[in-house]
Amino acid sequence: MEAIGERINGQFLDVKKAIKDCDAQVIKDHAINQTKAGAAWLDINTGTAAAEPEDAMKWLVTTVQEACNTPIALDSQKLPVVKAGLEVVRRDVPLMLNSVSADPEKLDEWFPLAKEYDAAIVCLTMDKDGISQDVNRRIENCTTIVGKALEYEIGLDKIYIDPVVLPISVGQNQPQMIFEVLGQLPQLFGPEIASTCGLSNISNGCAERPLINRIMLTMLAAHGMKSAIVDVYDKDLMDAWITADLLQNKMIYNDSYLDSARQ
């Protein structure tokens, strides 16, 4: 179980306001509290509203890394914003870049950076034509990604395939396709290849958000998903994830297994 905490994101109003006011405490609290709640990584996203996203990214990265040693994920599809984060990032803490699409020319821009910083990198199974409705096309995109990773000599344990979760209210056939892609990843590319997704998007616009998130996460886990960007403050969600790990024999049962997993 590898939870990527989603909370340091300018789309949340408190974070948006903190960025605007340079209120470091709000960001530090989220860094520390998400770590305590089980985040293995902290996602950092300036949001779309930041006036100067590069400066905002630098400030967020510095602020988070003053507060804790938790690995961070620089979340932007804009390369200049990610590069701004890289300028100030601590080199003694694991790093993730989030995210790049499966277009070869994009991968050629992003992978050298991942290599240079020994960073994990989230790679979307979508390309410039969008998200294909065909599982084979998505797998083809994975092949493009893996081919480029080999070219740049990036270990597949650093490649986090993101099969792109869409709201269930928009596409009810999507989860099944995601499960199929996940099932094929280790068969095609070996067990070390990683995977992740932005979980909360599954319930965007829905009434039963926590329930949908929770069930989706356990189904993803059952299909081999290795990590997910989630609300780590959702205790029921994290409990469900720990339990999914237990049911997959990834940990040894004891009556207090929820506490033990959180140690």
Closer CB to other proteins, 129 or 255, in the complex: 255
For the CB of residue 16, give the shortest distance to other proteins in the complex, in Å: 35
Closer CB to other proteins, 70 or 125, in the complex: 70
For the CB of residue 260, give the shortest distance to other proteins in the complex, in Å: 5
Residues in contact with 125: Cβ distance below 8 Å, sequence separation at least 6, in sequence order: 102, 131, 138, 139, 141, 142, 145, 161, 162, 163, 164, 181
Closer CB to other proteins, 48 or 263, in the complex: 263
Contact residues toward other proteins (CB under 8 A) are 251-257, 259-260, 263
Q: Is the Cα torsion angle 155, 157, 160, 163 positive or negative in sign? A: positive
For the CB of residue 72, give the shortest distance to other proteins in the complex, in Å: 18
For the CB of residue 192, give the shortest distance to other proteins in the complex, in Å: 12
Nearest alpha carbon to residue 161 among 196, 199, 111: 196
| Other CB atoms within 10 Å distance of the CB of residue 155 | 13
Report yes or no: 214 and 237 within 8 Å, Cβ to Cβ: yes
Closer CB to other proteins, 219 or 251, in the complex: 251
Closer CB to other proteins, 172 or 248, in the complex: 248
For the CB of residue 29, give the shortest distance to other proteins in the complex, in Å: 25
Beta strands in 120-256 (DSSP E): 120-124, 159-162, 194-195, 227-230
Residue whose tokens read 């893996």:
146
